[in-house]
Amino acid sequence: MKASLSIVPLAIFLSVELAFSAQADPGWQTDYKKAQEEAKTNKKLLLVDFTGSDWCGYCIRLNREILSKSQFKDYASKNLVLLEVDFPRAKQQSTTLKEQNQRLAEEYQIEGFPTIVVLNGDGRKVWRYDGYFPDGPDAFIAALEKLRKG
């Protein structure tokens, strides 16, 4: 009995940690309209990451190997507005966020995860990449920089 009681605090701790680790990185927004307005106002590109953040292996890998790297974060802070459009299995989302994400997935005809869509300040799609980007953060940044410079 004593051993099972010590497991309860551990289970609670792990649940809380999982919930926080599954949330979007602070640099990422989840409100499309706000993100689009910020991109337009600041003359930046809007990078939209369609992801299954808590279950999609390639999404987790893309985040770990590119999107969470310091060189990408540095580049993004100066040149991009970041929007996460997430379709999690365990993480809780509001009904409004689920509806917004579903509308965006339909609008951009998302058929799998991860999918990256880049929009200009007017909301026009300028680039799309379906699947895992295997070439690392430098190549990813180089592709984005070509878009930014036109």
Report yes or no on 14 lying in a domain: no
Round to whole Å and give the CA distance between 130 and 133.
8
What's the whole-model pTM score? Answer: 0.83
Report yes or no on 15 lying in a domain: no
Report yes or no on 144 lying in a domain: yes
Report yes or no on 61 lying in a domain: yes
pLDDT the model gives residue 148:
87
- Number of structural domains, the chain? 1
Q: Are 85 and 18 in contact, with CB atoms under 8 Å apart?
A: no
Q: Which residues contact 123 (CB under 8 A, 6 or more apart)?
A: 36, 40, 46
Q: What digits encode the pLDDT tens for the residues 45-94?
A: 999 999 999 999 999 999 999 999 999 999 999 999 999 999 999 999 99
Q: Which domain holds residue 43?
A: 24-149
CATH code of the domain in which 56 resides: 3.40.30.10
Report yes or no on 9 lying in a domain: no
Report yes or no on 127 lying in a domain: yes
Q: Beta-strand (E) ranges in 72-137?
A: 80-86, 115-119, 125-130
